[in-house]
Amino acid sequence: MATKTWRFDAERVLPWLLPITILVSWQTLAQIGWITSRTMPAPLDVVKAGIAVASSGELWQHLLVSTRRALTGLAIGGSIGFVLGLITGLSRLGESLLDSTIQMIRNIPLLAIIPLVILWFGIDEGGKIFLVSLSVFFPLYINTYHGLRSVDKGLIEMGGVYGLSRWGLFRQVILPGALPSILVGLRLSLGYMWLFLVVAETIASSEGIGYMTMNAREFLQTDVVVLGITIYALLGIVSDQLATQLERRWLKWHAGYRVA
Amino acid sequence: MDINITEINELETASTGRRGVGVHAENINKQFGVRHVLRDLDLSIRPGEFVAIVGHSGCGKSTLLRLLAGLDQASSGHLDLDGKPLQGINPDVRIMFQDSRLLPWRTVIENVGLGLEGDWRSAAQNALKQVGLADRAHEWPAALSGGQRQRVALARALVHEPRLLLLDEPLGALDALTRIEMQRLIERLWLDKGFTALLVTHDVPEAIALADRVVLIEHGAITLDQKINLPRRRERGTAEFAKLEGLVLSRVMGIEEVVSKNQFKGKISAILSDDPVLSSVLVETEHGTVTATISTRSIAEYGFEVGSEVLALVKANKVEMAIPR
């Protein structure tokens, strides 16, 4: 029994071993001066910088602005991607009309069009939201389209025999069948959303986490720079968790998503 | 209108006001591109009759079922239900597929209630009770066994009170014991409700156990129409059963129609039944050993064993077997 408890604890402790070791050695190396604070601030300095910007209220302002940009972009790009995915996924006509064009545009590296975006939108909010929208558009579009196309034809046929209307077939058979794929698209979109927000905010902005980070770089405040990076990482984790929660809630019928 | 129902079906069908529908198919042809699947097929089924269709895979038996279900259109010919031409999907007709086709994101009871309106829950619960799964109503289909899923599919078909129930090899993927249980359940519900039933199967004993008539389709046409006048519930061990089974089987496995140049006499040298569904049978012939892949169930059905004399038939890229006369 005793060994069993120990094993159980080990399973929980082991994953934390390496990160904690790294943090502790990083802190130690920084304190004895092997790593200069110009290269990399000590972890505790990052925490202190975090407390400072949080208590001045500066952090929350930047966080709010960044989150608003990200969510606006997600709402615009995501809903366009979803709707276009529905059109091409449900109708052969829509597919032949739209899909090849969208696939062509998808092959353009989005970061390459930044100069154009700056020309079109200047360095205002518009450009940032445009970039984020564009980045979340493709994963949602492709996964919605493929999800709809790969719904089991046998189930659709069955739904028809059992008297479902077109709307009933869509709502009860096709959409739930495509949902796992759509949620994968959403999860990918959330990743791209933060990635492109970082890029957009780093190019030019007067507020937001990216601005805070770039501004700190000017003054060689590496602790704030690392803080900014950490916040982006945390935002990524939070949105990934949200996607996981949605999957558990909507895909609870699916063995792969059921909580053990 | 239904005057002679009682003659056909001596059992009381009073539990429901809806009775079986008569099916009349005349000169049915169905082509997929150059492939002629059904050729001038004629078939009449009386209201409340239970007809089983047997035949090799690809003979067109499932195609006929899909025509009756309204899932496909005949290339030519007439298809009537109670004298009215069948057009598209008909609410009086329900089909049960080989795979249960339950929606994995719906609970068992929601699957049964699919496409129902109004107070569907009690109707669905009642149908589940009839197939003995009332206590599993709120589980996901994934939690059920293959046989239980087919019972849910049966409940889903019955809840609509169909007048024609089409069964497209619904028991093909089940193990032997579950199959017999399901056959008895289907028979009981058919006797109870009096719908017309059309069962496609490749299992001859199953066809004989259930059907009033066994119909053999070969190359898209009916080549045998055998009445089964055994009393229900039919016991498989009896001499009459075995005689009918032998009769139908010898037609199904008939060697008259096989092109003689593609066949070799041989002896079975080994049977490799690693897989519960498909087995490999090695046949020693004068030209060397050939391997036939057949369903594991057929081995017992046709009494193949090591040392049996068989004919190995080369068809396209596969080897089939027949019992020599």
**DSSP 8-state assignment for residue A191:** H
Question: Which residue spans of chain B are classified as CATH 3.40.50.300?
Answer: 5-92+162-252
The pTM assigned to this predicted structure is 0.76
Count of CB pairs separated by less than 8 Å, A with B: 49
B38-90: pLDDT as tens digits = 999 999 999 999 999 998 877 888 899 999 999 989 999 999 999 889 888 88
The predicted structure's pLDDT at residue B317: 60
Say what percent of chain B tops pLDDT 90: 48
Counting runs of H as helices and runs of E as strands, what totals does chain A give?
A: 12, 0
The predicted structure's pLDDT at residue A118: 87
Confidence label for B2 from pLDDT (cuts 50, 70 and 90) = very low
Across the interface, whether the CB atoms of A179 and B103 are under 8 A apart is answered: no
Strands B84-85, B278-285: parallel, antiparallel or unpaired by DSSP? unpaired
B92-127: pLDDT as tens digits = 999 999 899 999 999 999 999 998 888 899 999 999
The predicted structure's pLDDT at residue B261: 53
The predicted structure's pLDDT at residue B22: 93
A47-99: pLDDT as tens digits = 999 999 999 998 999 999 999 999 999 999 999 999 999 999 999 999 999 99
* Residue found by looking up tokens 């086709």 in the block: B101
* pLDDT for residue B281 is more than 60: yes
Q: Which two tokens stand for residue A150?
A: 């790969």
The gap between the terminal CA atoms of chain B, to the nearest Å, is: 48
Nearest-CA distance from B324 to chain A in Å?
40
For B213-231, what is the mean pLDDT?
90
Say what percent of chain B tops pLDDT 70: 88
Cα A67 to Cα A132, A138, A213: the distances in Å are: 11, 20, 15
Interface test with A, best of B105, B138, B139 (most A CBs within 10 A): B105
> Could you please report the per-residue DSSP string of A112-141?
GGHHHHHHHHTTSHHHHHHHHHHHHHHHHH
Rounded to 5 degrees, what are φ and ψ at B26? -135, 125
Domains and CATH numbers, chain A: 41-257 (1.10.3720.10)
Question: Which residue spans of chain B are classified as CATH 2.40.50.100?
Answer: 260-322
Quick check: A143 and A181 in contact, CB under 8 A? yes
Question: Any idea which architecture B260-322 has in CATH?
Answer: Beta Barrel (2.40)
Strands B164-168, B93-96: parallel, antiparallel or unpaired by DSSP? parallel
Among B201, B198, B218, which residue's Cα sits nearest to residue B39?
Answer: B218
- Out of A184-198, A199-213, B254-268, pick the least confident: B254-268
* pLDDT for residue A1 is more than 70: no
CA-CA distance, B52 to B214, in Å (whole number)? 5
- Out of B1-15, B244-258, B293-307, pick the least confident: B1-15
Say which of B71, B105, B114 has its CB closest to residue A162. Answer: B114
The predicted structure's pLDDT at residue A6: 58
Across the interface, whether the CB atoms of B105 and A177 are under 8 A apart is answered: yes
Say what percent of chain A tops pLDDT 70: 96
CA-CA distance, B62 to B59, in Å (whole number)? 8
Print burial letters for B128-167: b (CB count within 10 Å at least 16), e (below 16): bebbebeebbeebbeebeebbbbbbbbbbbbbbbbbbbbb
Specify the CATH number of the domain B5-92+162-252: 3.40.50.300
A2-28: pLDDT as tens digits = 455 556 677 788 888 999 999 999 999
Cα A246–chain centre separation: 14
What percent of the residues of chain B are helix, what percent strand, and what percent coil, each to the nearest 5? Answer: 30, 30, 40
